[in-house]
Amino acid sequence: MKLSEKVAVITGGGSGIGRAAAILMAKEGAKVAVINRTLETGQETVRQLVDEGGCGLAIAADVADSMQMQQAFQTIFDEYQRIDIVLANAGINGVWSPIEEIEPEEWDKTINTNLRGTFLTVKYAVPYLKKQGGSIVITSSINGTRSFKKVGATAYASTKAAQVALAKMLALELAPSQIRVNVICPGRGGDFH
């Protein structure tokens, strides 16, 4: 078990990549805390990993809400006394439409969830990670790095490109604290090409 005695925090762990990562990390021995906007879907993930012999905790929080995220990380630390791994995975597609049709509120929602949410996740995780070092992984997208063929993804692609730059800056800043920072850029086959 590669992650025995480690504590992993996953935002957006109620479905998709986040759920799969939570289950895999639990199988490798990590105690997994799932932060999800909807408690029920976070609890479903935790039930699944517990049924498979893992250990987990589900917390409801909006990644774009500073107070909720600060409290979520405090709750996780209070429960497990450490945080070793953070997967900043929560994100939304937002509204995909031509630029003149995107409402400012729709733009803000995508920016707040995908970029501010990543910032707040890292901001509130770092003090705990600095206690012993650890790893941060940010889920971005090929839409933020190289796949610019789908019209209307302006807000989404902007947040994903910003996450890549954020990861590079954080890697530089946090290396002296023994915190590794990586970014993954998944794509979904024909959907993005």
Question: Which of these is catalytic: 80, 124, 128, 156?
Answer: 156
Please name which of 51, 10, 150 lies closest in space to residue 93, comparing C-alpha atoms.
150
> What gap in Å lies between CA 4 and CA 68, rounded to an integer?
28
- For this structure, is 124 an active site residue? no
Residue 34 three-state SS: strand
Amino acid at the residue 6:
K
The 3-state DSSP class for residue 26 equals helix
Q: Which residues contact 98 (CB under 8 A, 6 or more apart)?
A: 151, 152
**Catalytic annotation, residues:** 156
